[in-house]
Amino acid sequence: MDHTGHGEHSFKDLAQLDQNEPSWESALIGFVVIFLTVGLFFLFWVGLFRLSSS
Amino acid sequence: MTAILWPLVAVYLVVVVGIGVWSARRRVRTYEDMTVAGRGVGPFLIGCSVAATWINGVSLITLTGFGKSFGLSAYWHMGAVGIGTLWVGIYLVPRMWKLRVITTPQILERFFGPTHRLVGLVVAMLRDFAATAGTIGATALVASTTLGISIFEALVLTYFVTVLYVTLGGMWAVLVTDTIQFFIILLGTGLLLVVSIQGAGGLGGVVEKVDDPTLFSATGDFGALEIMGWFSVAFFLAIGYQTLAQRAFAARSREAARRGFIYGGILAVLWYIAPALLGVTGIALFGKEMEADQVFLNLTNEMGGPVLGSIIFVSIMSANMSTLSSTISTMGSNVTVDIYQRFIDPDAESGRMLWISRISILLTSVLACVTYYYIPYLMELFLAGGRIVGGSLAPVLIAVMLFPSMRRKGRTVLASLTISGAAVILCQILSPRELKAGTSFFVWGFVDPVLVGVFISLVVLVVGSRWEGRE
């Protein structure tokens, strides 16, 4: 890698950057899935308190 | 407590300095070893280090206070950074790793040019400078009150030792000590949680004694909108945090970087339950009248006893030192790679670069310390830097990483960085105190500056790329 970030790697690298990587649509779906999973986990955890007090 | 505390502190400090010396002798040969651990790190070290970087003494004490004030929903205030880390790990980190850079501003030059890099550098360094200066103060204060020594002595014990092992061992030392620090934090907070809940009569006892259902609801007193506001702010801050990204650059492979971030994200998602729960348990044990910031320290003193109290003190110190070591290491990399190598001596040989990176770490560390003590009013500017990262750098990083067409829209990206950055600074100046302190995201018609920045970035990126595409 050269210090400017350009040079020998520049466009060859950039073309390969997205190879075998998920698209922005997958990233959006991924965000929803991660958010919902953590949200459900949090609800489950909050629910534990209701159960423990009843 | 002091009788057992001092030996524990001494052992801990000797171990971290020892790791610095070991890294310097065995691992560090070039400046790439110093800044990105020779790009040879596996997912375990990256995961623990990512989690340890997120968790600092401020998060322990302040978030326990939030838990006391807002209940379990305080979790979203920082649990969101775990979600952000997971998402970045899966969708941005693999592409970022392929670029083979050392710092985040380098990414901007790779796609656009030196102007973009300089703007990114100023934003990223403001954030790390704020984190460093803020954590120096918190670390010294806790050490000075717990050990009964002066602030100066506390600084020597904590900050000097941190700077010493980072200067010697660079990123290798940071990653190994972070991992040890993460397990100390886990042990300290885990044990405190167990004895506190037991002391309050178990989970059922906590609910009964607190006797306020809103503190046990998923959205608390504020409702879903406020919680989503907290979430969004923390999420974007996680994406723009270059200290974190540097751990990905240190990975030995694309897969190691991705898996490391997933581990770190999961650890953060789980760990941030602890402070919220400790806060609520604090109400059960000490009542609602106690000052929020005192809850964590009171739990430690009242419930911990001499041995556990000492372990918890060392864990607060570890949490602070792991955050400090990360930010000073990143600032050192910025000065070495983005300033010295790029603009002063592009052809400097490897041995020289190694020493330049050590001197850079020392200089930026001293500067952060001096700033905190002699010109504290500058802190407001640096804290704005943290928000610019979330409101201006994060949206641009998402755009250039996920949308290939954006990589040819240099003017749009520069406009987005500067306009949204200026908007964040303006909002930070005009914001009411609650927003500045981060305890709220929507006050009297003001929205958190990060969200204003994200919205403006989005508009500039969409409109600008269409306009630039027509030319």
pLDDT for A9: 47
Residue of B51, B13, B81, B66 lying closest to B313 (CA atoms):
B13
Between the CA of residue B283 and those of B191, B206, B219, B405, what are the distances in Å? Answer: 18, 8, 18, 53
What confidence score (pLDDT) does residue B137 get? 79
CA distance B178 to chain A (A): 25
Residue A9's H or E segment, with its range, is none
CA atoms of B113 and B419, how far apart (whole Å): 18
Is-contact B295 B68, C-beta < 8 A?
A: yes
Residue B363 sits at φ, ψ, to 5 deg, of: -65, -50
Checking if the pLDDT of A6 tops 50, the result is no
Contact B203 A52 (CB under 8 A): yes
Size of interface A-B (CB pairs under 8 A): 87
Question: How many C-beta neighbours within 10 Å does residue B388 have?
Answer: 28
Distance CA B396, CA B457 (A): 8
Interface touch B203/A16, C-beta < 8 Å: no
Cross-chain residue pair A35–B83, CB shorter than 8 Å: yes
Residue B277 confidence (pLDDT): 92
Are B189 and B271 contacting, i.e. CB atoms less than 8 angstroms apart?
yes
Beta bridge partners of B442: B447
Nearest to B264 by CA among B250, B280, B279, B278: B250
User: Are the Cβ atoms of B208 and A23 closer than 8 angstroms?
Assistant: no
Measured distance CA(B142)–CA(B145) in Å, rounded: 5
Which among B99, B100, B217 has CB closest to A46?
Answer: B217
pLDDT of residue A7: 42
CA geometry: angle at B129 spanning B119 and B448, to 5°? 75
State whether A53 and B106 contact (CB < 8 Å): no
Q: Which residues of A touch B87 (CB under 8 A)?
A: 27, 30-31, 34
Q: Which residues in chain B have their CB less than 8 angstroms from residue A4's CB?
A: 109, 114, 342, 346
- In this model, does residue A12 exceed pLDDT 90? no
Tokens standing for residue B381: 């500017």
> Which tokens is B372 given?
């905190």
Q: In this predicted structure, what is the pLDDT of residue B2?
A: 64
The stretches of B272-349 forming alpha helices (DSSP H) are 273-286, 295-333
List, for residues B235-244, the tens digit of each pLDDT value: 898 898 889 9
For chain A, give the mean pLDDT: 77
Alpha-helix residue ranges (DSSP H) falling in B37-160: 43-54, 57-70, 75-87, 93-98, 104-111, 114-147, 151-155
3-state per-residue secondary structure call for B420-460: HHHHHHHHHHHCCHHHHHCCCCEECCEECHHHHHHHHHHHH
Q: Cα torsion at B236, B240, B243, B248 (round to 10°)?
A: 100
CB B65 within 8 A of CB B295: yes
- Alpha-carbon distance of B272 to B263, in angstroms, equals 14
Cβ atoms of residues B360 and B336 within 8 Å:
yes
Interface test with A, best of B95, B280, B281 (most A CBs within 10 A): B95
Count, residues in chain B? 471
Task: Return the pLDDT at B251.
Answer: 97
Angle between helices B43-54 and B161-199 (to 10 degrees): 80
* Test mutation, A12, A38, A45, A52, chain B, max B CBs within 10 A: A38
CA distance B192 to B72: 17
Give contacts of B85 with chain A, Cβ < 8 Å: none
Min Cα separation A40/chain B (Å): 10
- Cβ B31 vs Cβ B350: under 8 Å: yes
Locate the chain B residue with the closest alpha carbon to A44.
B218
| B217 contacts on A by Cβ (under 8 Å) | 46
Instruction: Give chain A's contact residues with B (Cβ, < 8 Å).
Output: 1, 3-6, 9-10, 13-14, 16-18, 21-24, 26-27, 30-31, 34-35, 38, 41-43, 45-46, 48-50, 52-53
Report pLDDT for B437.
Answer: 63
| Distance between CA atoms of residues B326 and B307, nearest Å | 29
Cβ contact A27–B206 (<8 Å): no
- pTM for the model stands at 0.91
Q: Does residue B128 contact residue B105 with C-beta atoms inside 8 Å?
A: no
Q: Which residues in chain A are contacts of B268 at CB distance < 8 A?
A: none
B402 contacts A23? CB cut-off 8 A = yes
Residue B342 near residue B259 (C-beta atoms within 8 A) = no
CB contact under 8 Å between A48 and B203, yes or no, is yes
Could you give the CA distance from residue A46 to residue B190 in angstroms, rounded to a whole number? Answer: 18
**Three-state SS for B113?**
coil
Read off the tokens for B33.
């070893």
Which residues lie closer than 8 Å to A28 by C-beta, 6 or more apart? none
Q: E strand or H helix at A46, and its extent?
A: helix A24-53
What does the pLDDT look like over B22-62, one tens digit per residue?
A: 999 999 999 899 999 999 999 999 999 999 888 877 778 88
pLDDT lower than 50: segments of chain B: none
Contacts of B109 in chain A (CB under 8 A): 4-6
Chain A residues close to B111, C-beta within 8 Å = 14
